[in-house]
Amino acid sequence: MKIAYFDCFSGISGDMTLGALLACGADENAFRDALAKLGVPGYNLHIKRRKVEGLMTTDVDVELLENDQGHGRHLADIEAIYRDSDLSPSVREKALAIFTRLADAEAKVHGTTPDKIHFHEVGAVDAIVDITGTCILLEMLGVEAVCSAPLPLSRGFVDCQHGRMPLPAPATAELLVGLPTYPVAVAGELVTPTGAAIVATLAEGRVGDPPPMTPLAAGYGAGKKDFGAPFPNILRVFIAEAQKVHTEQTASKEETPTTVAVLETNLDDAPGEVLGHVHERLLAAGALDVFFVPAQMKKNRPGTLMTVLAAPQDAETLSDVVFAETGTFGVRQTMARRYCLDRAWETVATPYGAVRIKVGSRKGREVAASPEFEDCRSAAQAHGVALKEVYRAALAARYGG
Of the pLDDT bands very low, low, confident and very high (cuts 50, 70, 90), residue 401 is low
Of the pLDDT bands very low, low, confident and very high (cuts 50, 70, 90), residue 397 is confident
Whether residue 44 is contained in a domain is answered as yes
Q: Based on the domain organization, do 329 and 345 belong to the same domain? A: no
Q: Based on the domain organization, do 348 and 328 belong to the same domain? A: no
Instruction: Look at residues 338, 373, 388 and tell me which one is the last residue of a structural domain.
Output: 338
Instruction: Look at residues 217, 242, 267 and tell me which one is the last residue of a structural domain.
Output: 242
- Find out whether 362 and 255 touch, Cβ atoms under 8 Å: no
**% of the chain beyond a pLDDT of 70:** 92
**Comparing C-alpha atoms, which of 365, 345, 375 is closest to residue 252?**
345
Q: What is the pLDDT of residues 335-390, one digit of tens each?
A: 998 888 888 888 888 888 888 899 988 888 889 999 999 889 988 988 888 999 99
Give the residue-averaged pLDDT of 201-213.
86
Q: Based on the domain organization, do 180 and 204 belong to the same domain? A: yes
Q: Based on the domain organization, do 142 and 237 belong to the same domain? A: yes
Q: What is the pLDDT of residue 201?
A: 94
Whether residue 134 is contained in a domain is answered as yes
Q: Based on the domain organization, do 6 and 150 belong to the same domain? A: yes
Q: Based on the domain organization, do 120 and 170 belong to the same domain? A: yes
Q: Based on the domain organization, do 333 and 355 belong to the same domain? A: no
Q: What is the pLDDT of residue 93?
A: 93
Q: What is the pLDDT of residue 162?
A: 65
Q: 193 CB contacts (<8 Å, ≥6 apart)?
A: 102, 105, 106, 122, 169, 171, 172, 175
pLDDT of 129 above 80: yes
Whether residue 252 is contained in a domain is answered as no
Instruction: Look at residues 338, 369, 388 and tell me which one is the last residue of a structural domain.
Output: 338
**Comparing C-alpha atoms, which of 173, 177, 206 is closest to residue 189?**
173
Q: What is the pLDDT of residue 226?
A: 87
Q: What is the mean pLDDT of the chain?
A: 88
**Comparing C-alpha atoms, which of 206, 139, 171 is closest to residue 386?**
206
Q: What is the pLDDT of residues 65-74, one digit of tens each?
A: 866 544 567 8
Of the pLDDT bands very low, low, confident and very high (cuts 50, 70, 90), residue 244 is low
Q: Based on the domain organization, do 109 and 159 belong to the same domain? A: yes
Give the residue-averaged pLDDT of 183-198.
93
Q: What is the pLDDT of residue 158?
A: 79
What length is written for the chain?
401
Tell me how crowded residue 376 is: count the other CB atoms within 10 A of its CB. Answer: 24
CATH assignment at residue 312: 3.30.70.1380
Number of domains in the chain: 3
Whether residue 112 is contained in a domain is answered as yes
Whether residue 249 is contained in a domain is answered as no
Whether residue 74 is contained in a domain is answered as yes
CATH assignment at residue 379: 3.10.20.300
pTM: 0.64
Handedness of CA 382, 383, 385, 387 (dihedral sign): negative
Q: Based on the domain organization, do 76 and 225 belong to the same domain? A: yes
pLDDT of 254 above 80: no
pLDDT of 78 above 60: yes
Q: Based on the domain organization, do 317 and 262 belong to the same domain? A: yes
Q: Based on the domain organization, do 189 and 274 belong to the same domain? A: no
Give the orientation angle of helix 89-110 with respect to helix 125-140, to 10 degrees: 140
Whether residue 100 is contained in a domain is answered as yes
pLDDT of 331 above 70: yes
Domain housing 267 = 257-338
- Find out whether 191 and 172 touch, Cβ atoms under 8 Å: yes
Q: 122 CB contacts (<8 Å, ≥6 apart)?
A: 102, 106, 171, 192, 193, 194
Q: 318 CB contacts (<8 Å, ≥6 apart)?
A: 263, 282, 285, 286, 287, 308, 310
Distance CA 173, CA 113 (A): 18
Element (H, E) at 63: strand 55-64
Tell me how crowded residue 90 is: count the other CB atoms within 10 A of its CB. Answer: 12
Give the orientation angle of helix 75-84 with respect to helix 89-110, to 10 degrees: 180
Q: What is the pLDDT of residues 133-163, one digit of tens each?
A: 999 999 999 998 999 999 999 988 877 766 7
pLDDT of 255 above 50: no
Distance CA 105, CA 113 (A): 10
Q: Based on the domain organization, do 326 and 345 belong to the same domain? A: no
Q: What is the pLDDT of residue 251?
A: 47
Whether residue 237 is contained in a domain is answered as yes
Q: What is the pLDDT of residues 4-54, one digit of tens each?
A: 999 999 999 999 999 999 999 999 999 999 999 999 888 999 999 999 988
